[in-house]
A and B are shown apart, each in its own frame.
Chain A
Amino acid sequence: MAERPHAIEAVPVRHPWRWVFAVLIVLIVANAIWSVATEAQLEWSVIGEYLFSEQIFNGIGLTLVLTVIAMTMGVVLGVVLAVMWLSPNPLASGASWFYIWIFRGTPVLVQLLFWGFLGAVYPHVSIGVPFGGPELLGGSSNELITPFMAAIFGLGFNEAAYMAEIVRAGITSVDEGQEEAAAALGMSRMKTMRRIVLPQAMRVIIPPTGNETISMLKTSSLVSVIAVSDLLYQARLIYSRNYNTIELLIVASLWYLFFTSILTIIQYYLERYYNRGSRREPPPSRIEHFVKNFLPRHDRSATEPLPPRSGDSK
C-alpha cells in the first residue's frame, strides 16, 4: 500500500473586500458611539437612576406577563385553528379561515381598542345558554373586561391568527409517508398528529414562533393606549413628570433589548433540540461561522476527523 500523502497546504483564497467593508463599518460605528458620548445632550445619570427603579420593574413584570399569556394563548389557539383548517370537515376549515381573515386583516391596535371599549356596546357580558337562555356566569363588562383582560384578548386573539398560519405551514411540511407509516401501525389520527406530525412540524414552527415571541414582547407596548401599565407606559409616566423623554425611552429600549437577547438564545437551543435527528452534526454557532468566513487560515478541518462517507447515506 502506498504511503499516505501529505495534507495539502494551499494558500487560501483572499477576500480583500471583506476587510474593506469591515473597516468601513467599524469607522461608522465608532463615529456613532463618539457622537452619542460627546455631542448628544443626554443626562446619563437619569438613565442610571431609572434603569433599576421599582416603577420600571413593575412595567417590565407586566410586559413579560402579557407576552407569556398572549403567546401561550396564541400558540394553543393557533394549533387548534391550524388543525381545524386542515380537517376534512368544511365547516371547521371555513370557521378557521374566517377567524384568520378577521384577526389578521385588522390592525392589532384597533383590536386592542375594540376590546378596551367593548363595554360601550356590550354593557353586560355572560356565559350561559345561547340565544338568551339562562346565564351561568355574568357581570358588568367594565368589571369583567379590565384593561388587562382587554390587552390579553387583543394580543392573544390576534397572535392566534398568525400562529395558525405558522403551524399550518409546519404540519404540511411533514412528509405524507409519516402519516401513512403511523396509520399502518394502527395509530389514530389524533395520536399521529400529537406523536408523529407535530413534533416534526416543530422544526419548521419554532423559528417563526421565536420571531413572533420577540415581536410580541415589543408589540405589547401598544397596550399603553388602553391604560395598561407596561414597561413603555411606566417610562412615559416618568418622562411626563421630569421631561427626560429620550433618557427614559433609552431605559425602556435597553430592557426590551435585554429580553429579546435572552429570547434569541432560548430560540437557538430550542431549534437545536427540534433539529435532532435531521442532521448528523449540529449547525455551527455564530462564532464558528465568523472564524470560518473571516480567518480561513484557522481552518481546522485538517485536524478534524474525516466526514462520514457519503455512499451509505440515504
Chain B
Amino acid sequence: MSAAAVTPMVDADRVHKRFGRNEVLRGITLSVAPGEVMCLLGPSGSGKSTFLRCINHLERVDAGELRVDGELVGYREASGKIYEQKESEVARDRSHIGMVFQRFNLFPHKTALGNVIEAPMMVLNLSRTEATDRGRALLDRVGLLDRCDAYPAQLSGGQQQRVAIARALAMEPKLMLFDEPTSALDPELVGDVLAVMRQLVDDGMTMVVVTHEIGFAREAGDQLVFMDEGVVVEQGDPREVIASPQHERTKAFLSKVL
C-alpha cells in the first residue's frame, strides 16, 4: 500500500524520547496510511509501548517529528515557530484517537454502559439518550449488550477488554491504539478480544497494535515493525518478516515466541 498521495495517519520521523538519562526511543521512523494496520513487535523495554503512548501525547516527544493526520502531536506550528499545545488542544486531539490499555483501565465505579457513554457525554456533549443509543449499539457489536449494567469487577478480563474497546470506539476515532490488549488475559479469553479486533480491521479502521500475538500480526496486519532498544530493527509485510526474518535480533525473538 503506497501512501505517496494521501496524508499518512501516523508519520514518525526520527522520534526520540528519554526518561531521565535513559533514552527509550532513539530515532523511530515509520508511517501508517489510513486504513492500514501496523503491528509493533519486540521484547519488553524495546520502546514499543512508549512510542504508542507518544502518538496520543501521553508521553512527550523530545526530538524528531511525530504527526497524526498531518498535524504535529503536542505542538502547534505558527509562522515558523513551534508552540506547545494548550491542555484543551491536547485533549481535543486525543478525542480523535482511541486507546486500549493492557490493564483495561475501565472506570470501576461505572457500569459497562456507563464506561462507554462517559466520554461522548462529557467531551462530545451528546445527550444521555444519544450516548446511550450509541453505547448500546457498540456493546452489541462487541457481544456484551446483555452485560451493559454489570460493573467491571463483575466481568471477566476478556469482557472488560471488549468494553474498553467499545469505550474507545464510542468517540468515533480515526485511529485506534492497542497497547498489548491481550497480555493480561487468560489464554482462553484472548480469542474473543482478537475477534473484536479482527472485525475492526475488516471495517477498515486504522490501527497501531503493540502485541505478542504473532498470529494476529500475520493474518490481520498490513505492516509489521520489529523494535529493539529504541530503534526499528526490521519492518515490512508481516508474512514475509515472520517467515524469513533478515536480522539476527528478529530471528532470535521470533524463534522464542513462535
- A contacts, CB < 8 Å to B: 175, 177-178, 180-189, 191, 195-196, 199-200, 274, 276-280, 311-314
* A313→B157 CA distance, assembly (Å): 7
Interface centre among A184, A187, A274, A279 (most CB of B within 10 A): A184
* A311→B156 CA distance, assembly (Å): 9
- B168: CB under 8 A from chain A? yes
Given the known interface contacts A185-B95, A277-B110, A312-B186, the answer about A178 and B105 at a Cβ–Cβ threshold of 8 Å is yes
* A182→B109 CA distance, assembly (Å): 13
List B contacts of A312 (CB < 8 A).
Answer: 156-157, 186, 189
List B contacts of A311 (CB < 8 A).
Answer: 186
Contact at B118–A195, with CB atoms within 8 Å? Answer: yes
- B contacts, CB < 8 Å to A: 56, 58, 87-88, 91-99, 101, 103-111, 118-119, 122-123, 151-157, 160, 167-168, 171, 184, 186, 189
Contact of B94 among A177, A185, A274, A279 (CB under 8 A): A185
B124 to A, closest residue via Cβ: A186
* A247→B108 CA distance, assembly (Å): 51
List B contacts of A199 (CB < 8 A).
Answer: 109
Given the known interface contacts A187-B91, A191-B122, the answer about A280 and B58 at a Cβ–Cβ threshold of 8 Å is no
Contact at A280–B189, with CB atoms within 8 Å? Answer: no
* A175→B171 CA distance, assembly (Å): 23
Contact at A314–B109, with CB atoms within 8 Å? Answer: no
Contact at B58–A180, with CB atoms within 8 Å? Answer: yes
Given the known interface contacts A178-B107, A200-B108, the answer about A276 and B151 at a Cβ–Cβ threshold of 8 Å is yes
* A177→B53 CA distance, assembly (Å): 13
Contact at A185–B156, with CB atoms within 8 Å? Answer: no
Given the known interface contacts A188-B91, A312-B186, the answer about A177 and B105 at a Cβ–Cβ threshold of 8 Å is yes
List A contacts of B96 (CB < 8 A).
Answer: 186
List B contacts of A279 (CB < 8 A).
Answer: 153
List B contacts of A200 (CB < 8 A).
Answer: 107-109
Additional A-B contacts beyond A181-B105, A279-B153, A311-B186 (15; CB < 8 A): A175-B105, A181-B106, A181-B107, A185-B95, A187-B118, A188-B88, A189-B87, A191-B122, A195-B118, A195-B122, A277-B111, A278-B153, A312-B189, A314-B157, A314-B160
